[in-house]
Chains A and B, each alone.
Chain A
Amino acid sequence: MIDAAFADLLGPQTVDALFPNGVSRYAIGGMLVGLGTVLIYLGTGITAGASTFLESTLSYVSGRSRFAQYRPSRDWRVVFTVGIIGGAAVYAVIYQGDPWSIAGSGWTTEVSAWRLFVGGILVGIGTRVGKGCTSGHGICGVGSVSRTSLVGVATFLVVAIVTANAVSALGVGL
């Protein structure tokens, strides 16, 4: 339905060029991500982001002040993360491979280990220094019309676009 509406609006060729995989899975998935955030906000008033989990979980093993400040929230953040993992697993079991069967439900990425690891390190530093990630700034912050978050999102989006295109132009494989 969403895809048909967009085809009417932009013309089918344009839609194919811009959205080779359609629009609906992205739009529906995005709204569910927002809905998950809203459910937590509704009950607790917390605008939950995903990346503080990295530091709050480190407070279980490190007494450093930077991590210790998250002690009060570290338990629910583990629960949130377990929920995210579980929700994605439910999705995989229902929609990928044979429905409702474990076989063939998972997939693994083609992106190479060093790109994941080095990128992960930079993401870990950047999200904590920059006060938020794609969910904290991107969903909660933009949803709050926070100027800080809008600037944060614009910054990481532009830099990521430049990085991804530079890496691809240099001929670095996935």
Chain B
Amino acid sequence: MPLVLVGGLVFGFGLGFSHMARPEVVIDFLTFDDFGLLFVMFGGSIVAGIAFWTLPKLRGSAPLTGRPYGRRLKSFDRNVLIGGSVFGVGWGLSGICPGAAYASLGVGNWPILYAIGGMFVGAYAQGAWRSHDADDPAAAPSDD
């Protein structure tokens, strides 16, 4: 838990530092006014990629949990495209995604509570809908 907190602190500091917590910056990126956000995405995934690639070669499992080191691989199906498209409309409209929204709140951007509230409404709506078919094999636990 303390490690998760420290990791979250660095993660949130990075989102603040990169200005990705600012919806205007995301919208400027999406409308081609400032391509800087590419560096946040690539910078983050390259650092993560190096760790995901190296650590499994060095040792089998994580020291604190015994959980095997692995990559984040998800099965592909139609939902990835459908969900991705819905997410894209929301992201393009609001300029905010979940992690950046939490960070934005930390900066004191209180109007972001509208977005976070919306995210909970949306997550609840799809969860209530999809809990009807509880045998859905796609409902495997994930780490997002």
Interface, chain A (partner B; CB < 8 A): 18-23, 25-55, 57-58, 62, 64-67, 69-70, 72-73, 75-76, 79-92, 95-96, 105-111, 113, 115-149, 151-153, 155-168, 174
Contacts and interface: CB of A to CB of B under 8 A. Distances in A.
A75 B1 CA distance: 9
Contacts of A41: 48, 51-52, 55, 62, 69
Contacts of B116: 120
A131 B139 CA distance: 10
Contacts of B87: 122-123, 125-127, 130, 133, 156, 159-160
A52 B74 contact: no
Contact of A116 (B80, B111, B140): B111
B88 to A, nearest CB: 3
Contact of B40 (A33, A39, A43, A124): A33
Interface residues of B, number: 119
B69 to A, nearest CB: 5
A17 to B, nearest CB: 9
B94 A89 contact: no
Interface in B102-144: 102-112, 114-128, 130-131, 134, 139-144
A140 B126 CA distance: 23
A144 to B, nearest CB: 4
Which of B8, B46, B73 is packed against the most chain A CB atoms within 10 Å? B8
Nearest to B113: A116
A34 B45 contact: yes
A120 B39 contact: no
Contact of B122 (A72, A123, A168): A123
Contact of B123 (A54, A107, A141): A54
A140 B70 CA distance: 11
A105 B109 CA distance: 10
